[in-house]
Structure formats: C-alpha cells, structure tokens
C-alpha cells in the first residue's frame, strides 16, 4: 500500500519564496515518486485562528494558494488538493485529541511561543490559536499521513504529533492513528529580506511567487547586505548577507555563487552588481511561474477542489469511524 503524505499551508496570503524552498520543492520531488499518495490541504481553519476577524482575507486567498500550487508545477493528477474547513471530521478528531494535551505543553511549544510573541498576544493568546497544533495533529492523523513535508519551524509540531499518537493508541488500546516523519528540504528555512527573522508574510519581508517583475527588483534592492561594505573595492562579509542566502537558494550554479563569494570577500564586487545578479536569478526563476499562474482558469480550480474534497472526505470518514469505535462513542 502506498504511504500517505500530507501537508498544507495557511491561506493568510499568497505563497512566497520561503514556502518554495521550505516545502513546495519537497512536494515537487515527492510527486514524482509513485510510492506516495499526496494530500495537500489549504488550512483555512488554522488561518482563522489568528485572522478570525478578517475571514474575507482568508476566503480570498484560498484559491490564490491553489493557484500558487499549480503555478509552481504541483500536478492535480498527482496530488489531492482540499480545503480544511470542508472536512468536518477534522473538528471531531481535534476534540478527542484536545483531552490528551496539556495547556503547559502547548505553551512550551517553541514555534507557538515565537508566534505568540510576534503577534503580541502576551499572556492571553486566544484558545483557538493556542490549540492550533492540536488541530494540526488531527490534520496529519485523520489522513494516516506518515510523511509530512514542512519547513523547519514545523518540527516541534511533528514531535508533538507523535507523542499524542502514542498516547491515544495506548489509552484507547488501538493502532488507528499513525506516527509520522517530517520531510525537510535542503533549505528548510529562508531568512527575510532584511535579515534576522525568517521570511514570513506577516512580517512583510518576503518575495511572493506572484510578484511582478518590478516588485521583485524593488525588493531585491531593499535587501540587507553588509553595512560595512561601503565601496565596491572594500572586502565584504558573506555570512549573514541576505543576498548570498538567496543566491545559495535560487542560483542555478553553486560554482558561480562560490566564485561571487570569493570576489565579494576579497573586495571588488559592489552591492549593486551583486543585487543585479540576484535580480536576474529571481526574475528567471519566477517568470515561468507567474506566466503559468496567469493562465489558470477559475472553473478548473473549483473542479480540482471539489474532486479533492470528496477524496479527502472518504479517507476522513474511514478513520473517524475507527477512532469512534476505539473510544467507544459508536452507537
């Protein structure tokens, strides 16, 4: 039997280069392997946990995210795309799983902790937000997913998933929930345009897959380099230099990047020239994606989702039946 792969993204905005190197690239590789059945979920319920007062923003981005998937080359014939809110069994499984996780355990989760700080929730994060990792465990386990292609920030979620799966199976004397593994890409984390923080839509430091050629250029030229590198002839720092981070991630030739690094360190390569090289690299990378995106027809997207929701629902119903019978809530 094929292994199931499940992953997803919050539709709080369009997808960006961080999504690409962190997770989309793994999905593109894995869709070529016949031993996996791939489920890709647009996590609108999870997106609502920190955007509950602007649901129209989430709704507007559901199909934008699907367009990004198709535009980067994820094939609807090789992946099942579905929308989280349309699979109501997820809510039921979340309810059962909530009993197995303590508030303190959630508060200690490093990813959640960082997000709570970033979103300035202080001591009183909304319960929905605090509990989204539990809903994410339901996402993974309801579909029997054994492999989860994600960025580095999701690793604590996978660890939590496996702990809770163990606990569930032990308490209810069953094996109906499966443990899973994270699948990390070569660059599981991309820093933002201005250094330090990771690329994140909410921090406004990202290049979207759908950005126009002018916007890409503007963003590249706003990138943080080495503040002590004032003249082209000065030796420059490569470590912590955002332009090099993006060149490492997107330039087709590592040898060329390595030559550029040598030259930059020695002195003789100016920031404007360097940024022009990165701009060309990203323009070449993003132009075909943008072109494919523009050709996508809305009715095709709706058909893809209808189909995917149906397929996802079939698995969901099977697992929830087993879960109910394990707990004894099957009358």
Does position 205 interact with ligand TRP (CB under 6 A)? The reply is: no
Burial of 3 (0-12, 13-18, 19+ CB in 10 A): middle
The span of 28-36, 121-129, 135-143, 226-234 binding ligand TRP (CB under 6 A) equals 135-143
Q: Which residues contact 187 (CB under 8 A, 6 or more apart)?
A: 21, 22, 248, 249
Length of the chain: 331
**Token couple for 266:** 């020695």
Which CB atom, from 46 or from 319, has the smaller least distance to ligand TRP? 46
Q: Which residues contact 329 (CB under 8 A, 6 or more apart)?
A: none
Which CB atom, from 201 or from 290, has the smaller least distance to ligand TRP? 201
In angstroms, give the least distance from the CB of 259 to ligand TRP: 35
In angstroms, give the least distance from the CB of 219 to ligand TRP: 21
In angstroms, give the least distance from the CB of 69 to ligand TRP: 13
Separation CA 20–CA 155 (nearest Å):
17
In angstroms, give the least distance from the CB of 244 to ligand TRP: 26
Does position 46 interact with ligand TRP (CB under 6 A)? The reply is: yes
Does position 140 interact with ligand TRP (CB under 6 A)? The reply is: yes
- Whose CB is nearest to ligand TRP? 43
Which CB atom, from 181 or from 277, has the smaller least distance to ligand TRP? 181
Does position 10 interact with ligand TRP (CB under 6 A)? The reply is: yes
In angstroms, give the least distance from the CB of 138 to ligand TRP: 9
Q: DSSP class of residue 24?
A: I
The C-alpha angle with vertex 293 and arms to 18 and 29, in degrees rounded to 5, equals: 50
Does position 7 interact with ligand TRP (CB under 6 A)? The reply is: yes
Beta-bridge partner residues of 81: 40
Contacting ligand TRP (CB under 6 A), which of 31, 109, 136, 309?
136
Residue pair 112/137 in contact by the 8 Å Cβ criterion: no
In angstroms, give the least distance from the CB of 45 to ligand TRP: 9
In angstroms, give the least distance from the CB of 85 to ligand TRP: 12
The span of 1-9, 53-61, 267-275, 276-284 binding ligand TRP (CB under 6 A) equals 1-9
Does position 9 interact with ligand TRP (CB under 6 A)? The reply is: yes
Output 24-27 pairs: Cβ under 8 A, ≥24 positions apart. 24/69, 24/72, 24/74, 25/185, 25/186, 26/149, 26/183, 26/184, 26/185, 27/74, 27/79, 27/149
For binding to ligand TRP (CB under 6 A), which residues are involved? 6-10, 43, 46, 136, 139-140, 148, 150, 154
């Amino acid at each position: 039997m094929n292994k199931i792969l499940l992953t997803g993204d919050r539709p709080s905005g369009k997808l960006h280069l961080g999504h690409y190197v962190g997770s989309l690239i793994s999905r593109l590789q894995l869709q070529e392997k016949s031993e996996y059945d791939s489920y890709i979920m647009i996590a609108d319920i999870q997106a609502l946990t920190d955007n509950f007062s602007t649901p129209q923003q989430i709704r507007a981005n559901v199909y934008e995210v699907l367009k990004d998937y198709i535009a980067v080359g994820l094939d609807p014939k090789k992946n099942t795309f579905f929308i989280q809110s349309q699979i109501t069994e997820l809510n039921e499984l979340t309810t059962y799983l909530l009993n197995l996780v303590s508030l303190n355990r959630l508060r200690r989760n490093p990813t959640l902790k960082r997000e709570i700080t970033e979103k300035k929730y202080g001591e009183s994060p909304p319960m929905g937000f605090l509990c989204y990792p539990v809903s994410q465990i339901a996402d993974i386990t309801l579909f029997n997913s054994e492999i989860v292609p994600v960025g580095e920030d999701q690793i604590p979620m996978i660890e939590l998933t496996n702990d809770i799966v163990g606990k569930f199976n032990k308490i209810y004397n069953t094996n109906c929930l499966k443990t899973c593994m994270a699948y990390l890409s070569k660059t599981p984390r991309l820093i933002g345009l201005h250094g330090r923080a990771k690329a994140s839509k909410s921090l406004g430091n990202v290049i979207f897959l759908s950005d126009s050629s002018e916007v890409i250029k503007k963003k590249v030229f706003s990138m943080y380099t080495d503040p002590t590198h004032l003249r082209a002839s000065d030796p420059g720092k490569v470590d912590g230099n955002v332009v090099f981070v993006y060149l490492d991630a997107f330039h087709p030739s590592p040898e060329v990047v390595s030559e550029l690094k040598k030259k930059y360190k020695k002195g003789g390569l100016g920031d404007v020239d360097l940024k022009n090289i990165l701009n060309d690299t990203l323009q070449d990378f993003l132009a075909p994606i943008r072109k494919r995106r523009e050709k996508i027809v809305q009715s095709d997207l709706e058909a893809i989702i209808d189909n995917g929701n149906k397929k996802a629902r079939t698995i969901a119903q099977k697992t929830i039946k087993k879960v109910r019978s394990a707990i004894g809530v099957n009358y």
